[in-house]
Structure 1
Amino acid sequence: MGANSSDTKDCTSMTPSVWASSWKRILNEDSLATSQWGQLWVYGRKIKDRLKASQQSGLPEETLSDRRMSRCMSLFLPEFPVWSPALQPELKVLGCVAKGSLGPVLKVLNCTEQKVFALKVLPKGEVLRRNTLKQCKEEVSIQRQLKHPFIQCLGNSWQGQRHLFIMCNYYRYGDLHSLWMSAKQIDEGTLQIFAAELVSVLVYLHNLGIIHRDVKMENILLDERGHLKLSDFGLSQQLAFGERAYTICGTLQYMAPEVLCGGPYSHSADWWSFGVLLYALAVGEFPAPPARDHIRMLELVNQASYSIPDSLSQGLSFLLKELLCKAPRQRLHHLHHFQNHIFFRGMSFDPAMLQKNPVDLVLSMRKTDDTELSDPRAFEDFDYDFTETLDLRPSD
């Protein structure tokens, strides 16, 4: 893999509070948390312990269980409404698209619409243990307000007893990283299209005050015509005018120097990540090697020369230098900066125009296959309210 896959999470702005600790304790007592995603959360607690608790309290065991679960579910409202057979569709698991840091992303079939979706599954216990409840809720609330041709569309989100579910559009051509691994270098004609599409979507986000904070190849999907779809808003944040962030988060090899040193930083950090991505696509390797942690990564970023190969055009060389600028305020960031840039001469930044023709390179490459669902029983320990309507038989 070209990029360091480890993500550095928020350690300052999401410190545990008293209420979070108490909810984590409730979940831990009910055995809702395990460390291996492949085990996918063993269901329930020993009957003997439940009977003992009900006898001590004098309340029926069902009352204790329902009350405790109801209190737990309220934590995730309103972004994650409680699962209801009348609201959620019948789903059939077709495969595993990716293994996220919290849980798997599944490829599922909506049996009612006969349409395939990507389903992100987040164990509640892990969400609370890592203090990422606010982050998960913000991911959904931010993505609900977005409507752009180059952003992955958000579908339903809901909660079962032990998991959160986020459903998004599924794109069968995989992600940009898979394309890059196959092609290794992207021709400048294709790169010009990709770059214009990413400029279009980043300007759109920043105009809304949203910083993505994890722009990387793995988070850029390819649709059936080869165009880009920015995905995974799990680290995104809405910043008011003049507000700055201080959280060290993202993917190390793409992180701007001001992020690596703990801020303050703003939307310009996304443009650095964009520059790293374009450099890797054009050159075939990253401008700085991967590191084990953000301290060492910052040293490598400061030491790197960011030399541009002579084989690249003058326009692309200028663009990379202006994006990989260590002074945040001097980086390109306004739409007119790109519209007037030599690299984009003759290019339109209108999404409708960019989507007019398919991207030949993408369509000519073989699509990335999903991870095979070799043992459908691996998903049998999901919430009963999910698997009751889930067809776990392997697809034909």
Structure 2
Amino acid sequence: MECQVEELRQQLEKQTLINQELQNHNNDLERRLQKTEKLLQELQSHYHDLEFPDQRISNEGGLVVRKSRAAVMAPEPIPEDQQEIMKTKVEKTVSETSLIVKAIQKNDFLSRLDDEQITMMVELLVAINFKPGNDVIKEGTEGDSMYIVAAGELLVSQADRNLRTLTCGDVFGELAILYNCKRTATVKAKTVVRLWFMERQMYRTIMTNKSKKKREQLMGFLKTSQTLKALNDSQLSKIIDSMEEVKYQNNDVIVREGAEGNTFYIILKGEVKVTKKLNGQEKQIRKMGKGEHFGELALIREILRTATCTAVGPVTCFSIDKEVFEETIPIEHLELHDDISSKVLEEPDAPEKTSPSSYLRLKDLIPVLYQEGRYQGEPVTLGVGGFGRVELVTTLHHGKYFAMKRVSKKHIVAKRQEEHVLFEKRILKAIKSDFIVRLHAAFKDTRYIYMIMEFCVGGEIWTKLKEVGRFDEPIAVFCTACVVEAYAYLHKKGIMYRDLKPENLMLDAKGYVKLVDFGFAKELVHGDRTYSFCGTPEYMAPEIIQNQGHDFAADFWSLGILVYELLVGSPPFSSSEPAKIYPKILDGVLKFPPYMGEGAKSLISKLCRPRPGQRLGNTKNGIKDVRHHRWFSSMNWHKLRVGQVEAPTIRLIRKGPCYINFDRFPFDQALADEEFSGWDKNL
């Protein structure tokens, strides 16, 4: 026994020595790693930019700390004689032009220039040659030129320490064309070198004159607008300051017929084709060119576009959204005038004769039957909810599919939901958004209310989420972006949705997401509160649970919950017992899985802030802050609105019978009781 104890003691001592050695080795590795990281930081600090002010580099070569006053940038006079400057144009070959353009495009600063500015730079760059050993830039001297390497090699050094080599296509000294700054490195020719260079005065003259000319041009364009003609130059100038430059490629849709109008456009470059649907055919109305504008009535009225505007080749426009415009110009200063171009684009015209609402009759709708499986021969049920069922129907003569929501009138009265049903029908009939399911017609008999809805062949997001477990980030981003667009439309019209969840999101044939079921929607004046307790427990905002009164901010809370569920597969606050869900929501502790990205965590945290006034989407900039969040950095919002984003959800949609993307439900043969109170007489 004693021998065994001694043997164990020796083994323990040996293991302790091994552990000590490993610890010493780890400490040594950590010291070496820290030393390497310190050196790397120092190198990065040196490499960052040749024009990086040296007073900003810390003694340790690590974090940048400014210990002195910022350099004063004295204003410099700018030559007015544009013609004299243009005399200095230097002809360049195709290959020289290509090299310069590529160099500009890969430079962080110069790549921000627009095409016209780049063209002017290319034309005015001058060639200069240096022999081996010649200094191009000397550390400590004042700089006034930027350079692009056309041929040869140069050596960059700082305090006699070599940093790197510059070769063909590299740009250096570029900050000197912005302001008078001291060079913080020496650049010396290693070989015979040919450079393209430009002085600061030349560059600033190009940019200033270009901006002035563009502003004068825009002012002239705005003055031709009938709606804006009463504004003075100061007010027009404010509009220009608020406008954004947007570019479109050939065949890009700028505005689509039937979409809500909220943006005014001026064409700066290119040609725009105006088309309109007539008798089911797309017919060209006219073409618009530089200086022409469209969409001005969208700045002052709630209107729908009644023509489609498409880019013919590359097009550059200046645009302003209604929301920004209203912050800039008081509406009483505007002339409410309808000119011809506005009428073509925006006056609502009569409904198309082929609209389903014009030919649909309840007696003509026939159920679609399952063609196989356990329910073969029975009518297809697309969904079952607390207030009724949704069935797939079609018509004999037109061959279109519709989703028919059938709700028991007796049940509506028993649950005191008469007003909600009437409201749902009224707003769905008025809504014209590509991100909200359309209501084509509504009928009633003694037992049911029938709502004939657009059929979304892709099925529920809920079904897809169950099938795959959780969505990849690109799919979640796309789905959420569609909801954001639906929210933007509804909130602008003073409508809260209040029932967001994957079950109420449908996929159309293109994979775009549409909001369905407006049973809990409510009209609310911005600034007011409502106190009803409604919604799906996992998605309820704290203020609803606490009966503190809620507004549109509750929708943004549920948006955060949706993002979480799409990425994880279940909501953050859940339990099999609803009573246990509410305390979790009020505690507000969000636990994120390790695989969730930082962008998603940030968005969810900002949407699910306990205080409604601090929630993203409910602060000063409204829903714009949601759109501009980094999680949506890959989303082109304009292209999404006009249906030109390729939906990543398309791969979730299965091919087969029209009902293949839906869960299957047995047919309910029981008839609801009749109801004769007459509450639905105005339906």
Q: Which residue of structure 2 lines up, in the alignment, with residue 225 of structure 1? A: 510
1:368 aligns with 2:368: no
Q: What amino acid sits opposite 2:593 in the alignment? A: P
Asked if 2 retains the 8 angstrom alpha-carbon contact of 1:171 and 1:221, the reply is yes
Distance verdict in 2 for CA 1:275–1:381, change over 3 Å: closer
Deviation at 1:112, TM superposition (A): 3.0
Q: What amino acid sits opposite 1:363 in the alignment? A: R
TM-score by length of 1: 0.70
Asked if 1 retains the 8 angstrom alpha-carbon contact of 2:393 and 2:403, the reply is yes
Q: What amino acid sits opposite 1:338 in the alignment? A: V
- Pairs within 5 Å for 1:183-198: 183-198=468-483
Partners of 2:360 and 2:661 lie apart in 1 by 34
Partners of 2:546 and 2:672 lie apart in 1 by 41
Distance verdict in 2 for CA 1:324–1:156, change over 3 Å: same
Partners of 2:650 and 2:602 lie apart in 1 by 26
Asked if 1 retains the 8 angstrom alpha-carbon contact of 2:463 and 2:662, the reply is no
Distance verdict in 2 for CA 1:234–1:353, change over 3 Å: closer
Q: Which residue of structure 2 lines up, in the alignment, with residue 326 of structure 1? A: 610
- SS in structure 1 of the partner of residue 442 of structure 2: strand
Please, which runs of 5 or more residues in structure 2 have no aligned partner?
1-358, 369-379, 655-659, 675-683
Q: What amino acid sits opposite 2:442 in the alignment? A: S
Q: Which residue of structure 1 lines up, in the alignment, with residue 364 of structure 2? A: 90
Distance verdict in 2 for CA 1:126–1:339, change over 3 Å: closer
Deviation at 1:144, TM superposition (A): 1.6
Find 2:563's aligned residue among 278, 285, 294. 278
Q: Which residue of structure 2 lines up, in the alignment, with residue 211 of structure 1? A: 496
Deviation at 1:87, TM superposition (A): 4.4
**1:209-257 deviation line (CA, Å, top 9, x unaligned):** 1000101100000111111000000110000122211111011111111
1:105 aligns with 2:390: yes
Find 1:308's aligned residue among 592, 614, 618. 592
Q: What amino acid sits opposite 2:364 in the alignment? A: E
Find 1:298's aligned residue among 573, 582, 593. 582
Deviation at 1:86, TM superposition (A): 8.8
Find 2:550's aligned residue among 256, 261, 265. 265
Deviation at 1:314, TM superposition (A): 1.9
Give the RMSD, CA atoms, in angstroms.
Answer: 2.3
Q: Which has the larger radius of gyration?
A: 2
Asked if 1 retains the 8 angstrom alpha-carbon contact of 2:474 and 2:648, the reply is no
Asked if 1 retains the 8 angstrom alpha-carbon contact of 2:636 and 2:645, the reply is no
- What percentage of residue pairs aligned between the two structures are identical? 26
TM-score by length of 2: 0.41
Asked if 2 retains the 8 angstrom alpha-carbon contact of 1:287 and 1:304, the reply is no
Deviation at 1:292, TM superposition (A): 3.5
Q: What amino acid sits opposite 1:140 in the alignment? A: K
Partners of 2:645 and 2:505 lie apart in 1 by 19
Asked if 2 retains the 8 angstrom alpha-carbon contact of 1:258 and 1:265, the reply is yes
Partners of 2:637 and 2:646 lie apart in 1 by 16
Q: Which residue of structure 2 lines up, in the alignment, with residue 340 of structure 1? A: 628
Partners of 2:523 and 2:492 lie apart in 1 by 11
Distance verdict in 2 for CA 1:88–1:276, change over 3 Å: same
- SS in structure 2 of the partner of residue 347 of structure 1: coil
Q: What amino acid sits opposite 1:92 in the alignment? A: I
Higher relative contact order (CA 8 A, sep 6+): 1
Partners of 1:365 and 1:226 lie apart in 2 by 7
- Show structure 1 runs of 4+ deviating over 6 A: 379-383
Q: Which residue of structure 1 lines up, in the alignment, with residue 462 of structure 2? A: 177
- SS in structure 2 of the partner of residue 92 of structure 1: strand
| More strand, by proportion | 2
**1:41-94 deviation line (CA, Å, top 9, x unaligned):** xxxxxxxxxxxxxxxxxxxxxxxxxxxxxxxxxxxxxxxxxxxx9944511112
Asked if 2 retains the 8 angstrom alpha-carbon contact of 1:260 and 1:297, the reply is no
Deviation at 1:103, TM superposition (A): 1.6
Asked if 1 retains the 8 angstrom alpha-carbon contact of 2:435 and 2:482, the reply is yes
Partners of 2:455 and 2:673 lie apart in 1 by 21
- Pairs within 5 Å for 1:8-157: 87-88=361-362, 90-94=364-368, 95-157=380-442
Count of aligned positions = 296
Distance verdict in 2 for CA 1:306–1:92, change over 3 Å: same
| Higher mean C-alpha displacement, 255-264 vs 132-141 | 255-264
**1:241-281 deviation line (CA, Å, top 9, x unaligned):** 22211111011111111112223000110111111111011
